């Protein structure tokens, strides 16, 4: 699955673009595919990247790889990271390692549902047993294979000093508020804090402050890109589903949907605020020199990711990772073909239509004013 086309290095005509990378365990391999296609294309240069959980890992590997070897170095670094993640037990949770069944007649390409561990009776029993204990009881020595992998594939100094600014979000256990790590605050522990699911890993403590997964408060946080870079265009790489058809009925389905809603809530709130500021700027109600007129874009494939349930985010089967990688590359290539030419000119993401349920009436800016 090695890249077959020769990457093109960015030139002076490349357009600046910020990246916002969602978290989602092994589904971060979709984002790997998106980044690979963007780096190969070379028409965009990345100014800043904000990431949470798996998105933070992708951001850190991207930035450190780019600092050391440019676009091709970043592509190689991302591939090496996900290859290292492949098949490692408990990399994104405490489900333990299991072999994904093959398809009919020993096929090496199982159906998508086979990657969903919630469909496996043994996995459900194992998960139910795990919920009786905390990671402090089950893992008293705080062994974490993901930390070891991140240490091997992220150069802290390159990440901090490279040309791509990195913003990593974690959630303060004490206040429930997001903490964004950047510049000198960036570290391996900050990345681990951003990916710390409290039922799967011991709480990460940095400077005396305990942290959990950044998805609880920013998945990903957009405001660091507003204040921390000069670029007005932001590309959101979305891997968490916005909508869920039907009514969740099993305990696993209910938990999965609660997590999806929780991990999308902060992003929707930020997008609602950005949409409001955009309307104010369009109507000339605020001073444009004091507010950033952000142009938003999105790469996603909700239909392609739909067969892969939330429990597949714990599965590190290489076949799953490469399938998600190819979905991400294809989605990015569609975006490059259809939308990239509008970067620097206008948004290609309609926030109201995609995220704010356009079925709900948009309220006028002035009370009592007819819409």
Q: How far apart are CA 225 and CA 205, in angstroms?
A: 25
Q: How far apart are CA 272 and CA 360, in angstroms?
A: 13
Q: For 339-363, how does the pLDDT look when each residue is reduced to its tens digit (9 = 90+)?
A: 999 999 999 998 888 877 654 444 4
> Which one, of 200, 77, 215, lies nearest residue 146 by Cα?
200
Contact 54, 262 (CB under 8 A): no
Contact 124, 118 (CB under 8 A): yes
Q: For 177-226, how does the pLDDT look when each residue is reduced to its tens digit (9 = 90+)?
A: 999 999 999 999 999 999 999 988 999 999 999 999 999 999 999 999 99
pLDDT of res. 341? 95
pLDDT of res. 35? 98
Task: Determine if the peptide bond prior to 220 is cis (ω within 30°).
Answer: yes
Structure tokens at 105: 């007649």
pLDDT of res. 121? 63
pLDDT of res. 274? 82
Residue appearing with tokens 């992998």: 149
Structure tokens at 206: 């940095």
Q: Which residues of the chain have pLDDT under 50?
A: 1-11, 95-99, 103-107, 359-363, 365-371
Contact 237, 349 (CB under 8 A): no
């Amino acid at each position: 699955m090695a890249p077959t086309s020769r990457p093109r290095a960015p030139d002076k005509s490349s357009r600046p673009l910020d990246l916002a990378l969602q978290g989602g365990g092994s589904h971060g391999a979709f984002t790997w595919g998106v980044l690979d296609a963007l780096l190969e294309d070379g028409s965009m240069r990345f100014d800043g990247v904000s990431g949470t959980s798996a998105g933070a890992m992708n951001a850190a590997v991207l930035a450190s790889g780019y600092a050391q070897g440019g676009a091709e170095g970043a592509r190689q670094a991302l591939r090496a990271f996900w290859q290292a993640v492949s098949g490692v037990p408990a990399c994104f949770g405490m489900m333990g390692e299991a072999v994904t069944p093959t398809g009919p007649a020993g096929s090496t390409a199982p159906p998508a549902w086979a990657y969903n561990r919630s469909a496996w009776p043994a996995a459900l029993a194992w998960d139910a047993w795990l919920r009786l204990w905390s990671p402090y009881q089950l893992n008293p020595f705080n062994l974490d294979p993901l930390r070891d992998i991140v240490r091997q594939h992220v150069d802290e100094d390159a990440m901090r000093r490279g040309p791509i600014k990195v913003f990593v979000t974690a959630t303060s256990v004490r206040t429930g508020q997001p903490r964004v790590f950047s510049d000198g605050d960036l570290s391996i522990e900050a990345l681990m804090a951003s990916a710390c699911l409290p039922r799967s890993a011991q709480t990460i403590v940095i400077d005396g402050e305990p942290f959990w997964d950044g998805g609880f408060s920013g998945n990903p946080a957009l405001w660091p890109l507003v204040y921390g870079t000069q670029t007005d265009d932001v590309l959101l790489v979305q891997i968490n589903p916005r909508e869920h058809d039907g009514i969740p009925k099993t305990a696993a389905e209910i938990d999965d949907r609660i997590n999806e809603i929780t991990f999308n809530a902060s992003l929707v709130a930020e997008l609602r605020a950005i949409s409001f500021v955009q309307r104010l700027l369009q109507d000339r109600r605020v001073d444009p020199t004091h507010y950033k007129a952000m142009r938003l874009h999105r790469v996603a494939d909700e239909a392609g990711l739909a067969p892969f349930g939330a429990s597949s985010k714990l599965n590190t089967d290489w076949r799953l990772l490469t399938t998600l990688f190819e979905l991400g590359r294809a989605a990015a290539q569609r975006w490059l073909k259809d939308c990239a030419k509008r970067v620097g000119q206008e948004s290609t993401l309609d926030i109201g239509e995609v995220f704010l349920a356009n079925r709900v009436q948009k309220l006028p800016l002035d009370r009592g004013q007819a819409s």
